[in-house]
């Protein structure tokens, strides 16, 4: 693998970098920081399709946007978080901006650079990326020795909205939170928020003081964890004037341990955890509220993500009469509202579809190897990071049960170790390859849908890489396992095929 301190020209009208990182959100910023620290000799560029950094936190501007993971683990290990565990969008963007400044990444980030295609040449051991650059979509070409996909997991252009009968007849406004308009007037509105996940739980308390009435319409309840947006241990350590980096590391370890205990309870004592979560929600609601109907899901805890509701603000809005919950199915829309399958109806003049994302598989970029199109559904994933038949490319996809960033950092170290081996041995490329002992291996969907099954993932399983029946060919959602395994991967294993 070529290494140089600066980019160099490979072909006319083309730049080449040792590493190209796609995406300047929390994944791309984190991986670029680790790359700079561990391989300062490698040239790199970060290509971001949006007008600025932040990814999710730039796109999502709906009222009340906040994290649903604690910032001790959603933040980076190398940059202490000093605020409350759950943070609003503005604070997260400030944190990411500061991380960019700390690592001096700004000169390496190019905004409004959308990758249109990526082709690997075995003869030249490089990726060629065709780019649409700037507001005028000028064509550009960039070559990369290694391609690092950090673009996230959902499509930015549009969210997922089901095709409900009669929706086109509705006379009011219909808004997906992912495309929240700057000029929406919420005053005197009778709003319906369709959905029951973290987005709905965030939106409703923020809308409750602006709209005349807010109704949460859900088909199926979701598990929530409710509590104070504070940590007693963190507050006490800060009072003792302990170094912020120490506090950050202590709180990260505590948050990881707490999460591991919850996962253990979900696996071994699901009914106990179910009762704990529902009792926590019930504590914020009136005694006569039908918690069983509206906040008791039919599935086990953690089969879908459990969102934290800081200070129980969603349930306080319900208790105060500013918001209500309806658990039912939509029969049809009409001009003035929604007819439900139960025979009831909801009159409204604003509908907010908090119904999820459309998944982005490899950034929806057409990939090819030596001119032959890559169908990732025909590949097998090596630990959910690299893919058979696709050299020198890694995809960052985080955890569903833990904070996303924990896996970003594990993958960051994995890729940096791989880049080090390529340089040390003079190898130009590496691709994971099925071994003789893998012949006839049973192939299954990318993740175990019995344990992780959000709607956006289920809708895209047919487009995702496959997993095998051996640990190295599986995408684990277990951080405690992966933090032991990924740092010790032996790159001389026969599963890795090198080209020199």
Q: Which two tokens stand for residue 432?
A: 């994971």
Cα separation, 63 vs 350, whole angstroms = 15
What pLDDT is attached to residue 118? 98
What pLDDT is attached to residue 378? 97
Residue with tokens 């990758």: 115
What pLDDT is attached to residue 303? 83
pLDDT tens track, the chain, 500 positions: 655 544 444 566 789 999 999 999 999 999 999 999 999 999 999 999 999 999 999 999 999 999 988 999 999 999 999 999 999 999 999 999 999 999 999 999 999 999 999 999 999 999 999 999 999 999 999 999 999 999 999 998 889 999 999 999 999 999 999 999 999 999 999 999 999 999 999 999 999 999 999 999 999 999 999 999 999 999 999 999 999 999 999 999 999 999 999 999 999 999 999 999 999 999 999 999 999 999 999 988 988 889 899 999 999 999 999 999 999 999 999 999 999 999 999 999 999 999 999 999 999 999 999 999 999 999 999 999 999 999 999 999 999 889 999 999 999 999 999 999 999 999 999 999 999 999 999 999 998 888 788 888 999 999 999 999 999 999 999 999 999 999 999 999 999 999 99
What pLDDT is attached to residue 11? 60
Cα separation, 49 vs 109, whole angstroms = 11
- Residue 475: closest CA among 454, 451, 439, 459: 451
Buried b (16+ CB within 10 A) or exposed e, 404-416: bbbbbbbbbebbb
- Give the SS3 label for residue 142: strand
Q: Which two tokens stand for residue 149?
A: 């996909």
Residue with tokens 């009011």: 172
Cα separation, 359 vs 171, whole angstroms = 29
CA-based diameter of the chain, in Å? 73
What pLDDT is attached to residue 8? 43
Residue with tokens 């190295």: 472
Q: Which two tokens stand for residue 444?
A: 């299954």
Cα separation, 167 vs 59, whole angstroms = 25
Q: Under a CB-based contact definition with an 8 Å cutoff, are residues 364 and 409 in contact?
A: no
Cα separation, 133 vs 55, whole angstroms = 18
What pLDDT is attached to residue 9? 46
Cα separation, 499 vs 255, whole angstroms = 42
Q: Which two tokens stand for residue 109?
A: 């980030």
What pLDDT is attached to residue 455? 87
- Give the SS3 label for residue 129: strand
Residue with tokens 């604070």: 91
What pLDDT is attached to residue 12? 62
Cα separation, 142 vs 116, whole angstroms = 11
Q: Under a CB-based contact definition with an 8 Å cutoff, are residues 420 and 39 in contact?
A: yes
The pairing of strands 307-310 and 173-175 is unpaired
Cα separation, 153 vs 486, whole angstroms = 21
Instruction: Give this prediction's pTM.
Output: 0.95
Cα separation, 143 vs 147, whole angstroms = 9
Q: Which long-range contacts (CB under 8 A, 24 or more apart) does 212-216 make?
A: 212/187, 212/188, 213/322, 213/323, 213/324, 214/317, 214/322, 214/323, 214/324, 215/190, 215/191, 215/323, 215/324, 215/325, 215/326, 215/346, 215/348, 216/323, 216/324, 216/325, 216/326
Q: Which two tokens stand for residue 116?
A: 């249109």
Helix (H) or strand (E) holding 174: strand 173-175
What pLDDT is attached to residue 449? 85
Residue with tokens 């650059």: 133
What pLDDT is attached to residue 16? 96
């Amino acid at each position: 693998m070529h290494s140089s301190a600066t980019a160099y020209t490979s072909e006319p009208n083309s730049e080449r970098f040792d590493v190209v990182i796609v995406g300047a959100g929390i994944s791309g910023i984190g991986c670029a920081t680790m790359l700079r620290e561990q391989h300062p000799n490698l040239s790199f560029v970060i290509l971001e399709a949006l007008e600025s950094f932040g990814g999710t936190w730039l796109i999502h501007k709906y009222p009340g946007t906040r994290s649903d993971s604690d910032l001790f683990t959603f933040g980076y290990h190398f940059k202490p978080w000093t605020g409350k565990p759950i943070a609003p969008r503005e604070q997260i963007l400030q944190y990411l901006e500061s991380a960019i400044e700390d690592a001096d990444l700004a000169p390496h980030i190019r905004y409004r650079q959308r990758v249109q295609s990526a082709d690997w040449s075995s003869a030249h051991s490089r990726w060629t990326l065709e780019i649409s650059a700037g507001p005028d979509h000028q064509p550009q070409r960039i070559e990369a020795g290694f391609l690092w996909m950090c673009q996230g997991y959902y499509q930015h252009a549009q969210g997922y909205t089901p095709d409900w009968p009669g929706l086109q007849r509705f006379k009011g406004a219909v808004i997906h939170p992912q495309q929240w308009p700057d000029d929406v007037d919420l005053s005197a509105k009778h709003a319906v928020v369709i959905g029951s996940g973290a987005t709905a739980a965030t939106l409703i308390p923020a809308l409750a003081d602006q709209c005349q009435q807010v109704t949460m319409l859900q088909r199926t309840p979701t598990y929530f964890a409710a509590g104070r947006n504070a940590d007693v241990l963190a507050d006490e350590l800060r009072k003792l004037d302990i170094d912020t980096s120490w506090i950050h590391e202590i709180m990260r370890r505590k948050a990881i341990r707490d999460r591991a205990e919850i996962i253990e309870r979900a696996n071994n004592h699901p009914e106990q955890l179910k009762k704990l979560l529902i009792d926590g929600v019930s504590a914020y609601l009136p005694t006569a509220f039908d918690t069983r109907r509206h906040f008791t899901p039919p599935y086990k805890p953690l089969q879908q993500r459990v969102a934290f509701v800081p200070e129980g603000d969603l349930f306080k809005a319900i208790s105060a009469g500013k918001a209500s919950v309806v658990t039912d199915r939509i029969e049809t829309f009409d001009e003035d509202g929604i007819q439900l399958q139960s025979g009831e109806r909801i009159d409204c003049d604003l509908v907010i579809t908090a119904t999820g994302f459309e998944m982005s598989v490899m950034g929806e970029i057409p990939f090819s190897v030596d001119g032959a199109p890559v169908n990732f559904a025909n590949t097998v994933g090596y630990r959910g990071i690299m893919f058979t038949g696709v050299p020198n490319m890694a995809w960052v996809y985080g955890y569903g049960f833990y904070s996303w960033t924990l896996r970003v950092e594990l993958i960051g170290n994995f890729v940096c170790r791989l880049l080090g081996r390529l340089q040390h041995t003079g190898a130009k490329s590496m691709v994971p390859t099925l071994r003789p002992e893998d012949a006839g291996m049973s192939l299954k969907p990318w993740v175990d849908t019995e344990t992780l099954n959000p709607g956006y993932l289920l809708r895209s399983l047919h487009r995702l890489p496959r997993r095998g029946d051996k640990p190295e060919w599986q995408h684990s959602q277990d951080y405690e396992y992966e933090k032991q395994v990924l740092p010790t991967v032996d790159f001389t294993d026969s599963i890795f095929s090198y080209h020199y």
